[in-house]
Amino acid sequence: MRAAPATTSPFAALSREQLAVLLPELLLTGQLIDRSGMAHVIGAFGREGMVEVAIEEWQSSSPIYTRRMQQALDFTGDSVETIFKGLQLDIGAPPQFMDFRFRVDDHDHGEFWLDHCGALMDVEPMGEEYVRGMCHDIEDPTFDATALATNDRAQVRPIHRPPRDPAGRHPHCAWTVVIDESHTPPAVPDGLRAIEKSAAAGLELTPISSAGEGHHDYAGPLLSDLRFGDFSHSALVRMAEEVCLQQQLLTLGFLRSLRARTDEASVREIARKQLTGIAGLTAERLRDALELGDDLAALATVLTVHPLVNPHQYVDAEVVHGARLELRLGRQAAADADGAWPTLVDGEHLEALHALVRGVNPHFAVEVLAEDEQALTVGVRVADEPAKEASEVRITRFSTGADFAFADRGIPLPLTVL
């Protein structure tokens, strides 16, 4: 296996201010992966099968990426506060869309509640069975799996949760977190053991430099909100890489869960639909968040920071904007060894790339320029007529996250132990 070229992170080309805008977008993208994929899983395996896949993908990935972020930003420990910090940097809990509020009583006790749960807003119209599936069947094992990354004696238990009774109950849910030596550690899922062996799990990313303005870690007190603009440029680059890797790890868990249920052709069909839906919507949101236009220069920027081709230490991707705009996907990187997102794209399956470029401009399309065992190279062409939006992207727009707008909440407050 040949590693991706040792080049500077594409995120490093963005300003500190741009990265601060980009981080919540990348976290939200991670949450919307399931909005893109689970509709197709329901079609294949029904509601109960969807619940099982969701549990397995998060159980197998979240403990890995939670530990990675703890180590990257130097907030390792075994306390409730450490668990809460991890949630603030988790694609399962993007800021404001999943509006986690926290209270820390002591090292071993705390509470959190959701003043707004975007996932609930998506699921409530589907009926009580789907609400129970998410807020009971999925949350119980996956919250404990996330806590497992910090302390295997931590238990997350509901105070109240949907279905909301009375209707419109606020906050949407509330939970306790208790660490106690008497608690029996949850069993380590087989999926977690498998994904821990992936190249993604142990991947080295850009180290955080102590130079420059802003926070270089999250070693201080737990904050009511993370204001990404308070972090240094170097820290933001690393965080962006880690969040993209979270999405790749979640996808590895998703693929593994699908393979336990169906044949490889069906696995790849479902996964390609998932990737197409999230690729298109993400490109559109990144374009708007970075205040780009809809020309090829804007597309070149979006392509370099899109989660499909990041982090660069994992995916061998090169964007060339010369006489024409080209994307080269190498085939011998760590992502290829793991069978991650880039392996779902080839000369006969360009749907995800079509959706991505059309998220910037519906007149854009891709065409194969060259393909062999070493690489796939595509060029971007401009059509006279705009293309219709892919059905997979329309399905992803079902989520309220598709049009979600982040707000400036001002200076965050430290949450001291009561």
Model pLDDT for residues 217-248, shown as the tens digit of each residue = 999 999 999 999 999 999 999 999 999 999 99
Residue 100's H or E segment, with its range, is: strand 98-106
What average pLDDT score do residues 195-201 get? Answer: 98
Q: Is 247 helix (H, G, I), strand (E, B) or coil?
A: helix
CATH, range 265-402: 3.30.1380
Q: For residue 164, with 0-12 CB atoms within 10 Å meaning exposed, 13-18 middle and 19 or more buried, which class applies?
A: middle
Q: Give the C-alpha separation, 311 to 205, whole Å.
A: 8
Instruction: Report the pLDDT value the prediction gives residue 7, as an integer from 0 to 100.
Output: 66
Q: How far, CA to CA in Å, does 336 sit from each of 249, 317, 340, 341?
A: 13, 12, 6, 8
Cα 260–chain centre separation: 23
User: Which pTM does this prediction carry?
Assistant: 0.96
Contact 9, 206 (CB under 8 A): yes
pLDDT in tens, 303-327: 999 999 999 999 999 999 988 999 9
Contact 241, 206 (CB under 8 A): yes
CA-wise closest residue to 255 among 190, 311, 191 = 191
Q: Give the C-alpha separation, 112 to 154, whole Å.
A: 14
Tokens of 356: 């991505």
Q: Is 313 helix (H, G, I), strand (E, B) or coil?
A: coil
Q: Give the C-alpha separation, 161 to 418, whole Å.
A: 24
What is the side-by-side strand order in the sheet with 364-371?
Answer: 317-321, 325-330, 375-382, 364-371
What average pLDDT score do residues 399-405 get? Answer: 96
Helical H segments across 230-318, by residue range: 233-259, 264-289, 296-305
What average pLDDT score do residues 388-409 get? Answer: 96
Q: Give the C-alpha separation, 246 to 66, whole Å.
A: 9
pLDDT in tens, 331-390: 999 999 999 999 999 999 999 999 999 999 999 999 999 999 999 999 999 999 999 999
DSSP 387: P
Contacts of 112 (CB under 8 A, 6+ apart): 84, 87, 100, 101, 102, 103, 174, 175, 177
Q: Give the C-alpha separation, 2 to 244, whole Å.
A: 20
Tokens of 362: 């519906």
Instruction: Report the pLDDT value the prediction gives residue 27, as an integer from 0 to 100.
Output: 98
Helical H segments across 99-183, by residue range: 118-123, 128-132, 139-148
Tokens of 58: 């998060």
pLDDT in tens, 143-157: 988 888 999 999 999
Give the model's confidence band at 2: pLDDT under 50 very low, under 70 low, under 90 confident, else very high: very low
Instruction: Report the pLDDT value the prediction gives residue 181, as an integer from 0 to 100.
Output: 96
Q: 80-87 vs 139-148: helix axis angle to the nearest 10?
A: 110
Specify the higher pLDDT residue, 4 or 158.
158
pLDDT above 60 for 3: no
Helical H segments across 73-217, by residue range: 80-87, 118-123, 128-132, 139-148, 190-195
Instruction: Report the pLDDT value the prediction gives residue 418, as an integer from 0 to 100.
Output: 58
The domain limits of the chain are: 10-249, 265-402
Q: Give the C-alpha separation, 178 to 150, whole Å.
A: 12
Residue 98's H or E segment, with its range, is: strand 98-106
Give the model's confidence band at 6: pLDDT under 50 very low, under 70 low, under 90 confident, else very high: very low
Alpha-carbon radius of gyration of the chain:
21
Percent of the chain with pLDDT over 90: 94
Contacts of 107 (CB under 8 A, 6+ apart): 79, 80, 81, 179
